[in-house]
Each structure stands twice: as C-alpha cells, then as structure tokens.
Amino acid sequence: MTAPRALRATKQRAAVSDLLDRLADFRSAQEIHEELRRQGEGIGLTTVYRTLQTLADGGEVDVLRSAGGEAVYRRCESSAHHHHVVCRRCGAAEEIDAPMVESWAQEVAEKHGFSEISHTVEIFGVCRACT
Amino acid sequence: MTAPRALRATKQRAAVSDLLDRLADFRSAQEIHEELRRQGEGIGLTTVYRTLQTLADGGEVDVLRSAGGEAVYRRCESSAHHHHVVCRRCGAAEEIDAPMVESWAQEVAEKHGFSEISHTVEIFGVCRACT
DNA sequence: TGCGCCCATGATAGTGGTTTTCATCTAGGG
DNA sequence: CCCTAGATGAAAACCACTATCATGGGCGCA
C-alpha cells in the first residue's frame, strides 16, 4: 500500500478539523473562517474553503444548503449515509437514520422511471435550547 | 373584504406565469428570462426574479435548489404540500406525496425536542428520456 | 540533519447568481 | 382623463465561492 493519500499535515488543516470536532452545529465556510481568525489562527478564507471541500469529498464532513442557499458544514459521527434534524436558529443538528425512507425513495423513483437515484431528506425545526 | 392583494396585472407577470404553465421542468430564473426574451417578450431579468419571488411567496410555484446551489422554479399542480422526483439532467419533475414521510418527519423531530418543524425531501435521478 | 521537490497556502482578482437602487413608466381607481 | 402607488428594468452593488499565481513549508530522501 503506497499510500495514495497525498495530503500534507498542515497547521491550517488541523485547525479546521479541530474546530469541526468542537462544533455540533452546521456552519458556513465564512463562519468557520471568522471563528478561526478570532482564535488567532492564521488562516486564509481560500484555505478554509479548500479544506472543507476536501473533507467533504472524503466524506468526513456533511454538507447541506441553508435556506439562503449557502453551503454549511458539520463533522458527522457516522460515516454511513444518514440525515439530520437541524435547528434553523443555531444550526445545531442531530443525526438520524431512516431505513424506511431510503427504501421508499428508491421505490418511488423507480416507479416513475428514474435511475441513478439520490435524495435529500433534512428536517428543520427549532431546538429546545432556542425555543 | 378590501382586497389586500395589491398586485397589478402586467404583461410581464402574465408572460412569466404563462411560461411556467407550459413547462414541466424546474428552471432557473436566468433560463426563464432567456426563454422569454427568445419569445420576443420585453422583460428584464430583475422583473423575472421579482415575479418568481412573488409567486413563490404566494405558494404558486415550487422552489428548490439545484446541486450548484441556484434556485430553480416550477409551477406545481397541487397547492398542497408535496415533494418531487427531479431529473438532474433536464430538470423534469413529477410530484409525489408521501403521507408516511410527513408523519415520520414530525415524529422524529419531536423525539429530538424540535418544534416548528418543516422538512425538505427531494429525490433526484435521471429520467427515462435522459437515460 | 540538511536539501530540495512539490504540494499547500493565501492575497487578489474573477465569476456567477441574486438583490438593490433609482429614475421612469403604467395600471387602474376616482 | 388624471393622478398616484405600485411595477419595471438597466446598472451597480452584493455575496458566496473559485481561479490565479507567487511564496512558503511538509516530508521524503540522502
């Protein structure tokens, strides 16, 4: 195994990863950048975007779109396919899995003649803390 | 009832609405603008955006976000709450309703202490015509 | 430990979708 | 027919995100 992974261990990548570990909320790239700067990390916005992109591609973080259309990121516990209940006030999220919804989606799509199926299922609400 | 509706009947609004009636696909504001210009309608991009926004607010059209994050619009048959199976190639969509998913979402959210619940459920695939 | 290759970084400029601004136009009630 | 509040649209602002490219710093190797 000649590690095909060409990722280099940099301070910036670690900083983003560490911050994600400490957050339980979906956050935008800009918010993450701002927070890291506040903590005194020297990191550029470009790098934050790039790092989040990389993490997302590797399935290490979940990405979804906020109501405003901007991408928000969060470290997920499980690397398996799952969905979220997200607080629309603070972004806090809990993971859920829904086997029955998975099969339902597959079935419905096939019935309509669609193939190569994917789906988005997210539940939004206001969490206990924000009520 | 002193009609609170302050909407004026203009040629532009009618043009957008008519075009939406003839389309079965989710289309972006830009695409709709382009199509109207092609048909010789004198309409500005600004107005297209504004009109779609208004229609969406009034629940007359469905809005969702394409993979790239841009907003796409479509006239919906049913004004009731429903979801879609959308072709990621051409935007063609069919409406589906999923009572069991509705109640499932409600139940899951409550179990996690969330209130004022809403949800997004969209199924993406490739339609028969695009295969 | 030191060298050097090459990936990573980040300031800056660019891109593309959407909104705001504001001067002008017009639907439609009086 | 006139007047006015709402509608229009060209241009500019906005904002999230991406591309560019010169510089910096891991890390493999000697």
Nearest nucleotide to A7, CA against C1' atoms: C7
Average confidence score pLDDT of chain A: 92
B101 and A101 in contact (C-beta within 8 Å)?
yes
Give residue B37's pLDDT. Answer: 96
Give residue A93's pLDDT. Answer: 95
CA-based diameter of chain A, in Å? Answer: 54
The residue-averaged pLDDT of A99-121 equals 95
Give residue A67's pLDDT. Answer: 85
Give residue B56's pLDDT. Answer: 95
Give residue B12's pLDDT. Answer: 97
Distance separating alpha carbons of residues B8 and A85, to the nearest angstrom: 40
Residue A131: pLDDT band with limits 50, 70, 90: confident
B96 touches chain A (CB under 8 A): yes
Closest CB from A85, A87, A113 relative to B128: A113
Give residue B5's pLDDT. Answer: 52
Look up residue A112 and give its DSSP letter. T
**Per-residue pLDDT tens over the stretch A46-63:** 999 999 999 999 999 999
Cβ of B125 within 8 Å of Cβ of A104? The answer is no
A45 touches chain B (CB under 8 A): no
Which of the residues B96, B106, B123 would you substitute to probe the A interface, choosing the one with the greatest number of A C-beta atoms within 10 Å? B123
Residue A39: pLDDT band with limits 50, 70, 90: very high
Q: Which residue is nearest to nucleotide D26 (CA to C1')?
A: A8
The phi, psi pair for A21, rounded to 5°, reads -65, -35
Give residue B7's pLDDT. Answer: 82
The secondary structure of B40-57 as a DSSP string is T----HHHHHHHHHHHHH
User: Is the confidence at residue A4, as pLDDT, over 80?
Assistant: no
Walk along chain B (131 residues) and give the pLDDT tens digit of each residue. 434 456 899 999 999 999 999 999 999 999 999 999 999 999 999 999 999 999 999 999 999 999 889 999 999 988 889 999 999 989 999 999 899 999 999 999 999 999 999 999 999 999 999 98
User: Is the confidence at residue A69, as pLDDT, over 70?
Assistant: yes
